Each structure stands twice: as C-alpha cells, then as structure tokens.
C-alpha cells in the first residue's frame, strides 16, 4: 500500500465493481490529505553532521523525539535534547544529513553513545 514517494496508496483489485469506485476514491483522498510520519532509530556518537539513512526522499521535517544516553543511566533524561533536527537533504551522502539537534552540542554531548529516535514527516500528497 505504498508509493515510491512514501505516500500511502490504496490497492486496486482487478474486477472491482464500478459502484466501489467512489468508496475507493474517498479512501484514497483520506490517505492523500494526511502527512506521512515514519519513525527512525539509530545508535551512535553525537556529531555534527550525522547522516540519517533509510530515508528514501526529501522529508518536510525531522524531529528528535527521544535521546537516550547509552553510556550512562538510560533512565535519566538527556537534558535539553530533542525537538527540531536541522537537516539538509543530501542523497549522495546517504539521506538526510542532520547538522544539529536542538539542545545538543558536540562539546557537551560528544564522545558518548546515544540512541536517537527521530520522527520523519512527509507533506501530505494533497496539501492537507
């Protein structure tokens, strides 16, 4: 049920009855007016820049929704980390290149291993 451009698409069944076409169109419209959101997780050192791979096309936004310090107390929050992940789309480098994450710096957070969870959002196909 996905297009190459990471938008949801309802499958069309061969032999589908004509009266089902309107229902199919309504369902597809529902998919098209909602943004597509994916969750991506990666482990590694915090650095600027860092590449978030497994992103197939240029997203509208990337947010760091969870940052876990793997070298310390994993239940303690990483103070101030999270929110907007400033990025540039560079497919030749492997995907979205994150230049910085709000609240994190190499000086304060470099040298430690983290688990980053990102929310990757693509615009709605019909601008909804």
Q: What is the pLDDT of residues 33-79, one digit of tens each?
A: 888 899 999 999 999 999 998 888 999 999 999 999 998 788 887 87
Q: Using an 8 Å Cβ cutoff, are 98 and 62 in contact?
A: yes
Q: What is the pTM of this model?
A: 0.77
Q: Is residue 21 part of a domain?
A: no
**Angstrom distance (rounded) from CA 19 to CA 15:** 12
Residues in the chain: 128
**Domain total for the chain?**
1
State how far Cα 40 lies from the chain centre. 6
Residue span of the structural domain in which 107 resides = 35-122
Q: Is residue 19 part of a domain?
A: no
Q: Is residue 56 part of a domain?
A: yes
Q: Is residue 28 part of a domain?
A: no
| Cα–Cα separations (whole angstroms), residue 85 to 27, 29, 58, 107, 121 | 32, 30, 14, 17, 12
Task: Tell me the two tokens of residue 54.
Answer: 């497994």
Q: Of 86, 85, 78, whose CA–CA distance to 110 is shortest?
A: 78
Question: How many C-beta neighbours within 10 Å does residue 24 have?
Answer: 14
Q: Is residue 67 part of a domain?
A: yes
pLDDT at site 66:
92
Q: Is residue 8 part of a domain?
A: no
Q: Is residue 114 part of a domain?
A: yes
Q: Is residue 46 part of a domain?
A: yes
């Amino acid at each position: 049920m996905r297009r190459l451009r990471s938008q949801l698409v309802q499958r069309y069944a061969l032999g589908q009855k004509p009266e089902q076409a309107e229902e199919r169109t309504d369902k597809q419209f529902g998919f098209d007016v909602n943004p597509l959101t994916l969750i991506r997780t990666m482990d590694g050192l915090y650095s600027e820049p860092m590449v978030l791979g497994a992103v197939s096309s240029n997203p509208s936004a990337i947010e760091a929704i969870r940052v876990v310090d793997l070298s310390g107390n994993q239940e303690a929050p990483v103070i101030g980390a999270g929110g907007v992940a400033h990025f540039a789309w560079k497919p030749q480098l492997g995907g979205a290149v994150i230049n910085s994450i709000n609240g994190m710096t190499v000086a304060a957070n470099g040298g430690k291993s983290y688990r980053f969870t990102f929310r990757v959002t693509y615009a709605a196909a019909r601008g909804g």
